[in-house]
Each structure stands twice: as C-alpha cells, then as structure tokens.
Structure 1
Amino acid sequence: MSQNKKNSFKHVIKKSFILYSLVPITIITLIFYNMLIISFSKWSYKDNRDMNEYISQLLEYELSEYKNDIIELSSNEDTINILLNKQSDSKNIFENIYDKINRKKIKSIFHIYNIKGESVLTNSVNESDENKSKSIYDWGKFRNMNSYPQDVIMRIDKIQINPNVRTIYTIGKAVTYHDRVIGFIEFDILENELSNIISCSADEDIVITDKYNNNIINTNNFLLNKTGKFKSKEYESENQVITNSILNENIYIYTIKNTAFINKFFITGEIFLGIIFGLLFLVMICVANKIAAKNTKSIDILLNGIEYVKQGDLTKKVNITSGDEFEILGEYYNEMIDKVLELIKKNEEEAKIATLAQLKHLEFQFNPHFIFNTLEMLRYMIKSNNPKCEKVTLAMARILRYSLDNKTRSTCLNTDIKYIKYYLDIQKLRFGERFDYDIYINEDCEKAIIPKLIIQPIIENSIKYGYQNKENLFIDIYAEQKDGDMLIQISDNGDGISNDLLHEINEIIKNKNNKSSHIGLYNVQKRISLLYGEKYGIEIDSREGIGTCILIKIPVFRGNNDD
C-alpha cells in the first residue's frame, strides 16, 4: 500500500471518527436540549392554562350561584313581605342568606334595600355613605336594576366599607310585586376574597376585567394603564397570556407568565454548549490521529493477506500480535486458509467421485469480496472505537467457521437462517440506514433440511447489484411448504433485471457448463439439481427498476443434518 493511500486512510479515519462520535453526540445533545425547551414551554403553557381554567371555573361557578340565589331571593315571599312592611320573619331570611354565603368560597356582603334606598337587611356592620347624598336612581347599579327589573345586574362597583374592607363587584336585582319595583337585593363581592383566589400562584400575574377591559382585580397594578384598563396587547409579545371568558363574556380572566427571562437563559445555554463542543472537536481531532496511527498496521497486514488470497496464493499467513479484535480475526483468517487448503486437498483426493467433487466445489466457492469489504468496514470501525466492532468480528468469525465446516453439507433451515442473519447484520452495519431486511419462516419449515448456505449467494447478488442505481435496499426472505415441497422466496427492491439479461441468465443456469460471470445463481441451481434432480431448482422473476424475486424449490426432509 502506498504512502499516499495510508495518509488518505488516516484522513478518512479522522473524519469518520468525528462523524460517528462527535457529530451524533452533538446532534443528540442539541435535540435533547431543544426537547427540554419544548417540554418546559409546554409545561409552562399547561401550568398557565390550568391556573386560568381553575380560576375561571371557580369564579363562574361562584358568581353563577350568587346569580341563582339573587333570582330565588327576589321572588321569596319573606323578602317581599319585608319590603312591603308586612309581618315577616326577618331572622329566617337573614339565616337563609347567611347560610348561602358561608357555603361559598367567595364571600360577600348582602343588602336588601327598600324603594328609597334604605337598607332593610344586611350582614355588614359598617355602611357606606356613598348613596345617601343623592338619589339612588342616580347610581348606576340602582338605575340599571330599576330600568331592567327582570334582569340580574352584574357590574364593577368598588365601595370602601371601612379602611380594611372593600367591595369590588356587585350582583343585584330588583324585587317586584305586581310588576312594581318595591326594593332591591344585592351581593357585593369582597375584594380580599377574590384576592385570596388569584394570589394562589406565584408564577403568574392574574387580571380579571369586564368585557370593556375595566379592571375588577389584579395581582400587579403595573399591568393597568392610567384609566385602570388592562393593557392586554402590550404583554402578548414577550409574555405567555392565556385568556378565558365567563358569564356570556361579561368577565375575562387573564393569566400572564413572563417568558423573556427563560428564553434568554436557554439561548445562553445554547451558546455555552457551542463553546463546549468546539473544544471537544479539537480534542477529538488529536485523539483520532493517535487512534488511526496505532491501528493502521494491523489492518494493512490483514489487507495484504487478502490480496494474496485474491491472487490465488493461499500459502501466506498473517501474524498479528495487537492483543485486540484484529489478533482474533488474524487467527480466524489463518484457520480459514488452513481449512481452505485442506478442502482443496480433499477435493483433489475425491476427484474420482464426480458428483461429490462437484458439490464440494460448488459449496466452497466463498466470495472473498465479502471478507475484503467486511475487513475494510472493520478497519474504519476500529479506528473510530465503534463499540459494534466486536459484534462484527464475532459474526464474521461464526460465518467463516460455519461455511468452512466440511463435516456436513446440509442443515436445518432455522440453523442456516441464523448464519444468514449474521451475514445480513454485517451488511446492515456496512450500509447503515441504506439497508434493511425481513425474514419470516413458517413454523413447519424450521426443521426442514436444506443444502448449507444455499440462500447466501442469492443475497450476495441482491446486495452486489441492488445499489447500482438506488440509494436504499430492502431484502425479504420468506419460507413456506406447498404440496410437499418447500419454497424459499428471496426478494429485493433493487434495480431489477432487464428482459434481455433475465433471458440470458435463465439460459445460463439451464446449461450444464457455465463460462459466464454469473457464478452464484448457477452454483445454487447446480447444487440443487445434483442433490434433488432436475425437477427442483430456482426461478427468477424480475422487473427492471422495481426489483427481483428468486424462488428456491426443494423437497421437504426433516430430521438431523444429513449428507
């Protein structure tokens, strides 16, 4: 191998090491980091939404209950009798209203006023003088109740009862008798009651307004403008604002969560990660240089040995004392060479038995390109410290042992499939996401006896020719019994075969002598016909640009492996 090739190989190893170690780590970390951001944002949004829904549902339920109580009390006979100055049990009415208020989470002050605006019944120990200096019908709430006696009036009405008690929202209705207004009943919601509810969360600012954005209550006065309205548009760009309306959109609940600080924190974190990965990249380059230099020698020894095999020289052994997977692979390589030489010798000794000799020859035409390509792949994996390197080494060793075991020429289908999986897994590691496969064996076929490695040459053909014009390849293996025979179908979605070439291949596998380059399919057909007769063999169906399907047909035998 020339110096230029060695330098090029080391350069590729460095790039591969970075590509298969640093880049995935970086991508996974960034994905995880961004997923964390997304998850946190979703959690933040859900927390904000849940808080809004909790307050909205509680407020709607409580105010609706007050509304229902108002309607009930305004038509109550005792209430009407009190306002008509008739004999009535005011204590019973007081206890009834007091009990209704106590059962609610949001407490209030209730009043029953006569037509003059004088308080007839209340639970307040203090009275506001606000309505005594003018006609009650100059008041918005009394004017509304008097003008719409059948409606329940709900509106902002902030009254300072005493330095410590303030009401902020009124629910009221006129009391009528024979279509004549005789008084009014109202519940005034206490500010501290609503404040306790909206102050239950430290993460959100909460504003409750009427439909005109007039403030009812809030947790932060900076959210209001000079006229006491909520500035909703100003906070939607940099904050997470959840809006909900209740009571036919008469009341709006806003929960506001500030996200600007969180966003800045995550951006700073991404910059920090970028710096860390930049430093890690420099360290990886140094490590890749050392690893490439350390492992090149063992790879070169193995590749030189493979080159001798390709040239037909099976006398050269490899001597690797690296103490790693390559030393194991070197031992298996030498063992393979010894067994190949032994097989050649045995085949020469058995040349007089034509059929048996021909079968052995067909069985042990192992494709050196598979070994070469696998070693090339291992070369790159070792340099990049890929943890799957040992898996590839052991899989290849098992395939070599299995293929070179000359004690039996036939085996159970499920045993052969096990080694086919080793082979396919190596190819999957070689091609990555560009290659995949699927195997399904009917249960009645698992113990059936087949010629050893009869399927592998077909799979090799699929991989060899399937990638010529396509980026991805999928191989499907399926076995079933039909009419006393076993059918093994190997199909792929590769380039397919033109009609002319398909005709040529079919002619080749029918001939007794093959001088073409299509060795694999010919050998499969030849082995089957020698073992089971001309009735059995392979059938090829292919469409150019779509894929190829090869069907192996052999008789069903069960039992122990049998030559």
Structure 2
Amino acid sequence: MNLIRQSFKRQLFAILMITTVILVICGGILTIQGFQARLTADYEKRDIEQSRIINTRLINDLEQAENAVQELSENEVIINAISRKRNNSLSIYSELYAISKDIRDFAAVDIYQGSKCIFSTATSSLSKELPLNYSVLREAAEKEDSIIFSLDPTYSSENGADLLIAKEIAGEDNPGFVIVRIEQEEIESRLKDSINAKDGFMLTDRFFRPYCLIGTAKDSKALALIRSNLLNKIRYNSNITGNVYINEVGETGLLSVYITPPVLGESAAKVGYQILIFEAIISIFICLLVASRLSAYFSKPINILSSGMRTFRKGDFDTKIELNREDEFEQLAVGFNKMTSQLKQTINERVKAERTINETRIQMMQAQLNPHFLYNTLDTIKWVAKANGVPEVATMSASLAGILRTSISEKQFCKLSKELELIQNYCEIQKIRFDDKFDITIDVPQDVMDAIIPKLIMQPIVENAIIHGMNETENGHIYVAAVRDKNEEKDLLKISIQDDGVGISDEMMKALNNDDVETLKGHLGLNNVNTIIRLYYGKEYGVMAVRPTEGGTVMIITLPYSEKEPEQ
C-alpha cells in the first residue's frame, strides 16, 4: 500500500484498474440479473396466460357438468322414477342421454337411489356404490339445493381420484342423487395438450387433496411441499424451485395448481456467472495494459514538473518546463516558469539592493573623514579652548563631537528625539560659522519622539537648507516639524524641514520627486537619504520637495510610523 502511495503513476494505475474491474463485474452481474428479471417477467406473463387458459377450459367443462346436473335434478321423469318408483327405463335413459349429450365424451352421469347406482351413462357395470352416510352423498343430502364437488372416496390415492359432481333429487327415506363422474384419466386427457412437457398441473380440492396430477407434478412432491408449507404457516411456494400459480376454478371450490420450472435453471445461471468470471479475467488483462498506458500518459507531465522542481530546489533558477499540451498541466508549467523568472528577478533585485546599501554606507563613511580620529582630536580641542577661555571653540568642538559620536555608532536606527538632538548640535556649529545669520525652530510633539527612523537622514537636508538656502540671507529661519498621519490603510510619520531661503531649483525638485538617480548623483546627501529610506521601506516612501508660494523650500520625509526597528 505504501508502495502505491509513493507514486502518482502507481496510484493512477491502481485506481483505473480497480474502477474498470468493478465496473465490469458489477455491470455483468446487473446484466445477468436484469436479463433474468426481464426473462422471468416475460415467462411469468406466459405462465399466467397458460394457467388462465387451463382454468378456462376446466371451468367450461365443469359448467357444462353443472348444467347437466341441474337439469337432471329438475327433470320430472327422473324425479318420478326416484320418488314414485315409476321405473320406465326407456324414458329415463332417453332423458338421461339427451341431457348429458354435451358431457358424455369426458364424464359419466349416474342416478343413485340411496347408495346404489340405478342408472348410468357409463359403459361399465353399475356395481359402483357410494356410502350414503359418507362423503359426497351425505354432503349433497345436507345441502339439498346445492351442487357438490367432491372426490370419490372409494377410488382416491395420493396421485388422484375421480371428480364427483352431485345434487340430491328427492329427500325422502331413500333419497336420490344425480352424480356426474369425471375420472382423473379424462381430466388429464383433456388438459395435457395445454401443458408443456416441463410443466406440471394439479387439480385439487380446497384441502389440496388431488383429483389429478399431470406432467412434472405427477410424483406429488410439489403437492406435499405445498401442504407442508401451509401447515407450517409459511409461503406456499417456499423450497420449491419452480414457479407455482394457484387459482380457484370458478365457484366450485376446486383449485388449479400450475407449476413451471425456473426461467434459468441453476446450470444456466452457473454458466452465466462462469462467463462473467471469464470476462472479468480478460478485462483485468486489458485493464493492465490500458491502465498502464493511461497512467503513463497522465503521469508524464507530473514527472516532468517534479523533475523541474527538483532541479529548481538545487539552485538552478534558470530551470524551465516545456510541455506541448493545452490543458491544466500546461498552465502549471507556464505558472512554474513565471514563478522561477519572478523569483530570479526578485533575488537579483535583492542582491542589487544589498550592494547599493553597502555602497551607500561606504560613501557615507568616506564622507565622514575618519570620524574616530576627528572625534578624539575635537575632544582635545574642546578642553584646550575651555582652558584658554575661548567658548565658541569649545561649543563647536562639543557639538561636532556629538555628531561624530552618532555617526560612528554601529546602530543604523535611532529615535526621532536623538536625531533632533543631532540637528541641534549641527546647527550650533553652523551658527558660529555663519555668525548667527539664521535660527532654527523644532516643533515636534512629544508623542512621536519615540518613533524609530534611520540615523543621519535629517542632517544632510538641514545642511542643504543652511548652505544653499541661507547663502544670500541675513536673517534666515529653519522650521522643523513632525506629525503622525494615521488612517485605515497606513500609519505614517511625516517630517518637514522648511527654510525661507532662495528655494530649490526646478530641475532639482523634479529629479528628487521623480527619483532621478543620475541627476541626484551630484548631491550626495539627498541621494543617500532617499536611497536608504526606499531600500528599507519601499519605493512609496522617501523625500519630496515642495516650493511654497511665499518662497523657500519644504523638504518632506515620509516614513512608516514604528517604535521598533524594521527587519533588515
């Protein structure tokens, strides 16, 4: 099982083979069962129709017999011969033969006086006697207005008996009866041409005592099973392999039982399932071939994709997957190729950015003129100036030392409050240099003082404002402000540095706002500040220049607001 799970091709192969075999087997079983059901339904219709034909023939014969019995029981000649003992044999036989003409070919008509037969249409002797107080005569005497159907108790067995149809004629001390006798051989003779060779038929009374057994029912095994089932209160056809149809024969109280063999015998069903097994075996071999080809066809693009991904994981970013298809696998290949190209481009951009950051840092360090040496020297100058009473030199030395201390720190970020302190130190130096030709105002609320920003991003801008903006001004002013601009989408820190000097040139403002690197190369400070901000935070951040209507320049630094250092 684990071996199959480890390969998509093997999984696909197993699924295709199992599905096909199941479909073949289930389809075969359903076909056989459907064929059996359809055949059974068709044969059942035929059997029911055949049973109806047999029943109709029986009913016709019995109705003719009933009519003869009824007519004889009402005939005055017969009645007088029984009740008044007017024994005119010629007239009696004349009436007897005239009335029984329609049934004499299959039945014999007897006139009984008590238990003795006195007149008969049968060719045999009149020696047949029936007990007066037993069976058909007693039942006819009890139901004097009814026609009784019963078997002949003197000639009955497990295989059949004569059918007697009787009615009382006169109910005196020595009553008379009209009896129509149909022998079981006659019943079989009249019905056997309606019964197929493999079918069976039984004519019984309501207690399943037989009058005749025909065809496959002749051994009486089926009749015994039906009796046993009914006595045990189970379905009458249980344990019988054939189909059993039981019908009432009109209103006579007799039952016709028609038995047919199964539509498909056990041997036929067995052959059907053997064929199905053979087909399943053949199908398995065909499935092995087809499933192998299909699994190879469908798994080929998967293997190509998997191979390309393994090559990509080893570091080959130039990996490309080529599939000559027009389906989802081609879309996967195109998506993979786009992903590798984009990833390679991203890595190249990341490497280029890292290289740019390193170059910028080197340039800034080069611009710092060996700050360690300058810091130690300036500290010495500060103490010499204090000792000799020159406070300006001491102030300049202390302020420059503070700037250098920040620049040589290994930390790349600092709080906004620290950056403002550095700006103040820088302006103290420039005030002495420019003989207090300008002043600076810092208007920053306390709640943004803890914002984290890259260090030394404000000093180059203030330096540009002093050197370039205040060059022709005698009483200049620099205004530094910072606000937190928070909305639903972004949380920003905006720092503005404004001067009232000569103002920035159009070319410079356009280059800065459009991030024109080539134009900014000559302005090391602004270029470095803009580059560092965008490399750390993205191209939507950086420095923007604005020229107010009243003159001067406003430089706006936009950063994401955070009190934690960003991930480098």
Q: Is TM > 0.5 for Structure 1 vs Structure 2?
A: no
Q: TM-score, normalised by structure 2?
A: 0.43
